[in-house]
Structure 1
Amino acid sequence: MSTEWSGRLWLGRDYGLIHGELGRTAPHAHYAHQLLFAPGGPVTVSLDGRVITAHRLFIPSRQPHAILDAEGDVWVLYAEPIVFAAEPLQALLANDELSLATLQHLPRRRLDDPRLERALTTLDHHLSGKVSAQALAEAAHLSLSQLERLFTHQLGMPVRRLVLWRRLRVAVQLALAGNTLTEAAHGAGFADSAHFSRTMKQLFGVTAGASLRQLDVQCLT
């Protein structure tokens, strides 16, 4: 099994859906919940040290894992925990298939805390340059320690890690839109393409080139 991924990618603001052949990955953990449907042949995954072979599998946010083997085309969903709760995603394992139509009917949750909304909006506006945690705290009318607690308790990640995740999301979108890896890296606030690739390997277990080069992408509004 190679490290190359191929197939189609539907990319929304809060999820990505892939249908195609998966590549092998190094051990990694990312912020998104992940759902795998393998109707043709099973997928073998190392999940937090355990090797599991299954046709359907849910991997929760920040769970260490690696894809070891896959047979035929697989459906893979990456869903933002801020928007999608784990329970409705796990319930999809009882379905016969995974599709865009299925995702459109999934319940989405909203942030109830306006302070968090202000901080995230400010973060997104500054991703192409330096993101200051102090500036996010001031936008949310919080102290720096209060902001860190808010991110950790409500989003499950400290500020710095969420900034890195959102940078990566922007860089992937830019690369899939036809930009070079260097252009995508700079547009998302990474120092260079090497920094982008290292982050991609850390969070998804693959390099940007191996995972993005052969995907036919459709960006969804």
Structure 2
Amino acid sequence: MGACPEITAWRPRVEGIDEVFHAHFPDHVYPMHTHDAWTLLLVDEGMVRYDLDRHEHGAPSSVVTLLPPHVPHNGDAATPGGFRKRVLYLNTGQIDADLVGRAVDRPVLRDPRLRLRVDQLHRTLERPDDELEAQSRLALVSERLAGHLRDEVAPAPQVPDRRVAYALRDLLDEHVVEGLTLREAADRLHSHHAHLVRAFSREFGLAPHQYLTGRRVDLARRLLLGGMRAPEVAASVGFYDQSHFSRHFKRVVGTSPGRYARTGSADHRRRSRAPRTNAA
């Protein structure tokens, strides 16, 4: 009997990603099959050998692999001990259908920057509370994937779009608590998702999700100093739950919400102002 695989799979609340799939397969062999989504593969340990459209390919840990929808492929370990992989099944709307043929011809993408971005996207998706960050990262990943297939990985520099950057900032300011998706912002501003992220980051020096988190933390600080309890603050300013709130608050402010609130209490202020006396 073969060794048991380790598998984790879920469907994130991020439009454009149908499924996230993490697995360690000691000895599994995939038969020929197809998916109705783009298969974006990272191999973290070992190496995978597979056939795509009757041509043999390999997926080592240093590359990104993109398999197109509806094209048969198989897969098995090319190294002892099996392989460990992370997969994103991207909705067909993320990459133009006319690029399927290009992906069949060259599914292996040797791009360290792209691999880093896909890794960061996976790490964001492991947290069920940062959808805007995941949407922003997905937009840049999808743009770079399409650029590879079109031989446009390094496009000509674009003229900074300050207008759309400030319009997005205004939109985020209007939706600090309830938030909004990147698609909603793109539809309202008549701009592409990736362009929104790039324009905002270029103009303000931080990504849209970082700006929104900072605004929420600022609002939380005022509520905490006003006497509201931390669990109530988390929901009042738009954080997913108390853990989500505490993690972001501590990263921005440098201390936990509870300790921050105690610094603003009347007793704490009296103690901090009390003169110190030397012991006799």
Length-normalised TM-score, structure 2: 0.34
Higher helix fraction (1 or 2):
2
Higher relative contact order at CA 8 Å, sep ≥6: structure 1 or structure 2?
A: 1
Length-normalised TM-score, structure 1: 0.43
